[in-house]
Amino acid sequence: MLVSVPMTLFDDLLAKRLVILSGKGGVGKSLMGAALATAACGRGKKVLLVEIDAPMEAARYLGKPPVGGRVTEVEPGLFTINLHPQAVMDEYVRHVVKIDLFARRILQSPIYHRFFAAAPGLKELMVLGKVMVLEEERIGFSRRPRYDLVVVDAPATGHGLQFLKVPLAASKAVPVGPVGANARRILALLRDPKRTALCLVAIPEEMAVVEASELYHMASDEVGITSSALLLNGCQERQLDEAEEAEVLRLSAAGAGGPLGGGIRLEAALTAARRHIRRRKLTRFYEARLKRTLPLPIVRLPYLFREEIGPAQVALLAERLSAA
């Protein structure tokens, strides 16, 4: 007899073709992208992690050098690329203008550069078009997808919403021709819940939580994209039990002090412990608030007590995502 195994959130994400991560700047989207891509590779998927004009690429978390604008395999089955809008636009011109001499003249023209800099939404549309091309890329006689999953580290919330709205605006503004047709294809991809998942990323802090909520509603109401999950990064997990927390607060109230050994003083240890208790309570507060306001599954990811994030920390986050 066959036994039905419930699908987890992570299984649902792996069933998509495209996962887009968006959230306030500084919440760790790049790290979440690296962890999600690593977790998918752990399930045997061939994954492409796409970054957009990232000044510091996620490859550094895997101990690899920057890859730039070319698809590069940084780990077995894990590929990354950093899309620069100008380079994407130049590539599109070369594709459309088949004759190299004419293409070079266009690319060297000051009018072309002014147009690219001034045209509203053009950068976002070109980048999304490139993402769509990468998602649709097929290989071999079987025409199987080159990548099982494409993970996109989208721009931060304010620019991120504009990034998602551009295909809708372009499809309305240009009802005919190749630009309008491509915009409608991109919009269809973004709106297709069977192919695409939008994952919000936040940390347990006021502005990050507010912006995640706003992005959820705006993406749904203004673009027609339904979010799939919220990744709550940087969660302070309990390090002390209730009795130990009570003792920390008692000693602090009593003004306890003195050396603990190793050059550490009790006052400093109590300060650090109180800070942890406060951050843990804030994590619980904001998680509860998100659960009340957003009808989304929430994945808690731990705060990493590290100055530098490396492959070991990415592997830990990947393990948590795999279990979600």
Structure tokens at 194: 């069977």
Structural domains counted in the chain: 1
Alpha helices in the chain (DSSP H): 9-14, 29-42, 85-96, 100-108, 110-118, 122-136, 157-173, 177-191, 206-218, 242-253, 266-293, 311-322
In a domain, residue 301? The reply is yes
Residue-level pLDDT, tens digit, the chain, 324 residues: 444 445 799 999 999 999 999 999 899 999 999 999 999 999 999 999 999 988 889 999 999 999 989 999 999 999 999 999 899 888 888 888 888 888 788 888 888 788 778 777 888 889 999 999 999 999 888 889 999 999 999 987 667 778 889 998 888 887 777 778 889 999 999 999 999 999 999 999 999 999 999 999 999 999 999 999 999 999 999 889 999 999 989 998 888 888 887 788 888 989 999 999 999 999 999 999 999 999 999 999 999 988 889 999 999 999 999 998
In a domain, residue 3? The reply is no
**Cα torsion 313, 319, 322, 324: sign:** negative
**CB neighbours (10 Å) of residue 147?**
21
Structure tokens at 202: 């936040």
**CB neighbours (10 Å) of residue 293?**
14
Residue with tokens 């002090």: 257
Helix, strand or coil for residue 69?
A: coil
Contact call for residues 184 and 262 (beta carbons, < 8 A): no
In a domain, residue 149? The reply is yes
In a domain, residue 248? The reply is no
Contact call for residues 300 and 232 (beta carbons, < 8 A): yes
Structure tokens at 19: 């996962």
CA 268 to chain centre: 36
Structural domain boundaries, residue 19: 13-238+295-322
pLDDT, one tens digit per residue, over 44-86 is 999 999 999 888 899 999 999 999 899 999 999 999 999 998 9
Element holding 83 (H helix, E strand):
strand 78-83
Structure tokens at 73: 């395999």
Provide the CATH number for the domain around residue 68.
3.40.50.300
Q: Among 125, 133, 136, 134, which Cα is nearest to 167's?
A: 125
Report pTM.
0.90
In a domain, residue 231? The reply is yes
CA distance 165 to 71: 26
pLDDT, one tens digit per residue, over 230-264 is 999 999 998 899 999 999 899 988 888 888 877 88
Rg of the Cα atoms in the chain: 23
Contact call for residues 47 and 41 (beta carbons, < 8 A): yes
In a domain, residue 257? The reply is no
In a domain, residue 66? The reply is yes
CA distance 198 to 201: 10
In a domain, residue 55? The reply is yes
Task: Read off the amino acid at residue 189.
Answer: L
Q: What is the DSSP string of 243-291?
A: HHHHHHHHHHHTT---EEETTEEHHHHHHHHHHHHHHHHHHHHHHHHHH
